[in-house]
């Protein structure tokens, strides 16, 4: 069955884009709801509205026109359980066979009232989970946002039982058992097929921990006013989802009618060694796909003609090399120094013998991307705080292992990636891109971008090199366009992941090697409106 599109409520495009980007913590969402209730919205009325939207979406996902369905409703003690009971009632009225599972003896008053009414309608309800085994799908309303305690004993065993049955499960707001902010599993958690997030995106749904539990996440927009959101978020550093529209809006397109290659950015890549020649090629191919006006690539002399054969349009600079084939010294063309370039990207395939090269580019006044061995050398130098003194922006692009070597004293990125990447950006003064299934980007002011989509197809050697080249090329083009660097970094992360998704759709996840990935960067733009 092909799933229909989510229900669409008519909103202005600007509001839709705003809501699509906002990410909130449990405390922020609670404060927003309290403001809504304080201004006169009855709790019961909001529950009716939200649950009605959920019921409509459930009917789209499992329409009676194609089948008859038996639905199991999992009811918790709070208002999440109340939402589930209103959904149960609405589905019952529309012809679904509904069975309510309510294992808690104490319910909030409004939830208890909805349970009483559901029973008066003749909807089956008890605490025997075996009655749910034959349901076609389950709706999870056990715990909503804000859960912090570990789930143990009977409720944990029950959730594990539901997961073992492998029925489709629709979770309301957040799968029961996930921490709203970190996405961590609190003992155990529902493995949802769909998660219908209510009102605003919850931070935990966009963290790596949560991905195998969230399933397909969708936002149910129930018309929170922008004033209510802004009153709570105020001047606090924002967490934002990267959307297609925002990513494409930063691309240097269309180009002016009168221009030339140097006006469209000049990127210097410093990469590669005799041992890791592929890193130089893949980084350069990523840069080429960015559309940068001029590309120069500094490699060991022994790799020069190999690079020329792959990138005849680029200026390949052969540099003196060590006995083992690493760059010994950066030798630029006559009358050229590092200030001649719009941006520099340095690191893939260098090996740690290239320490003097990394020191040299850090001392430059150009926007700088450090990746791979550039990061390893930076960690060895233990000079992270000195990046604050650079005259231009530094972008660091570590995976988790490199991140821990660079920032051993910040929060554990495996526990809370958002806090960790914020602390790293504050410590270094750099824009930090922490790679992962949900890449997180932070600047020194504490603003965070999260890439909400990716694919495990990118878990291949060399795919990070492609990102470095792509990012460097975009930064080189943007230097004269007054676009915030972190926005460009967000665009590069989005573009890179979308290329992986597109390639995986056509080649399967196993067919997306890094070289293949570079071939799908340009098709991403042709499949999206700009």
Binding residues: 79-83, 140, 144-150, 173, 176, 349, 399, 435-439, 464-465
CB 518 within 8 A of CB 463: no
What is the token pair recorded at 436? Answer: 């992962």
Q: How far is CA 82 from CA 46, 85, 125, 143, 219, in A?
A: 11, 5, 14, 10, 19
CB 98 within 8 A of CB 132: no
Q: Which distant-in-sequence residues (6+ apart) come within 8 Å of 23 by Cβ?
A: 200, 201, 202, 203, 206, 238, 239, 240, 241, 450
Nearest CA to 76 out of 150, 131, 143, 127 is that of 143
Q: Name the pairing type of β-strands 201-202 and 266-270.
A: unpaired
CB 478 within 8 A of CB 488: yes
End-to-end CA distance of the chain: 31
CB 138 within 8 A of CB 169: yes
Annotated binding site for (6S)-NADPHX: 79-83, 144-150, 173, 349, 399, 465
d(CA 218, CA 56): 13
CB 231 within 8 A of CB 35: yes
Strands lying side by side in the sheet with 169-172 = 124-126, 97-101, 70-75, 137-141, 169-172, 194-198, 216-220
d(CA 336, CA 296): 12
Annotated binding site for AMP: 435-439, 464
Annotated binding site for K(+): 80, 140, 176
């Amino acid at each position: 069955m092909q799933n229909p599109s989510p229900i669409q409520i008519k909103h202005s495009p600007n509001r839709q884009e705003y809501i699509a980007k906002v990410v909130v913590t449990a405390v922020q969402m609670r404060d927003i709801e309290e403001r809504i209730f304080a201004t006169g919205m009855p709790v019961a009325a909001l529950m009716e509205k939200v649950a009605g939207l959920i019921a409509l979406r459930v009917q789209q996902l499992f329409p009676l026109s194609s089948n008859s369905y038996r639905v199991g409703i999992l009811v918790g003690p709070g208002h999440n359980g109340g939402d589930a009971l209103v959904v149960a009632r609405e589905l019952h009225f529309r012809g679904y066979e509904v069975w309510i599972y309510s294992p808690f003896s104490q319910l909030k008053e409004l939830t208890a009232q909805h349970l009483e009414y559901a029973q008066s309608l003749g909807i089956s309800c008890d605490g025997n989970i075996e009655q749910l085994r034959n349901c076609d799908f389950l709706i999870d309303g056990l715990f909503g946002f804000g859960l912090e305690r570990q789930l143990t004993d009977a409720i944990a065993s029950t959730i594990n039982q539901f997961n073992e049955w492998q029925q489709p499960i629709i979770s309301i707001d957040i799968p029961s058992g996930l921490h709203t902010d970190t996405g961590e599993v609190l003992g155990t958690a529902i493995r949802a097929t769909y998660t219908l997030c209510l009102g605003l995106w919850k931070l935990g749904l966009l963290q790596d921990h949560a991905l195998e539990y969230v399933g397909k996440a969708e936002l149910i927009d129930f018309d929170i006013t922008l004033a209510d959101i802004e009153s709570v978020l105020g001047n606090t550093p924002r967490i934002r989802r990267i959307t297609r529209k925002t990513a494409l809006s930063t691309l240097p397109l269309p180009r002016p009618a009168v221009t030339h290659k140097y006006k469209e950015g000049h990127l210097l890549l410093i990469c590669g060694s005799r041992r890791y020649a592929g890193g130089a090629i893949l980084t350069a191919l990523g840069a080429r796909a960015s559309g940068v006006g001029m590309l120069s690539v500094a490699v060991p002399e022994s790799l020069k003609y190999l690079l020329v054969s792959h990138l005849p349009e680029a200026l390949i600079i052969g540099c003196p090399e060590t006995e083992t084939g690493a760059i010994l010294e950066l030798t630029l063309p006559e009358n050229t120094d590092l200030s001649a370039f719009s941006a520099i990207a340095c690191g893939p395939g260098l090996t740690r013998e290239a320490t003097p090269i990394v020191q040299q580019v850090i001392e430059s006044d150009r926007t700088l991307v450090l990746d791979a061995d550039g990061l390893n050398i930076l960690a060895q130098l233990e000079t992270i705080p000195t990046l604050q003194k650079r005259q231009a922006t530094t972008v660091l692009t570590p995976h988790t292992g490199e991140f821990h070597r660079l920032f051993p004293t910040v929060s554990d990125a495996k526990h809370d990636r958002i806090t960790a990447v914020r602390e790293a950006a504050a410590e270094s003064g750099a824009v930090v891109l922490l790679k992962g299934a949900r890449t997180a980007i932070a600047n020194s002011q504490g603003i965070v971008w999260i890439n909400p989509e990716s694919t495990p197809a990118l878990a291949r050697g060399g795919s990070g090199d492609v990102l470095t080249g792509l990012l460097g090329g975009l930064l080189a083009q943007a230097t004269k366009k007054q676009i915030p660097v972190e926005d460009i970094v967000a665009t590069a992360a989005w573009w890179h992941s979308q290329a992986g998704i597109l390639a995986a759709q056509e080649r399967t996840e196993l067919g997306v090697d890094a070289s293949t990935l570079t071939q799908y960067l340009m098709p991403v733009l042709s499949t999206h409106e700009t």
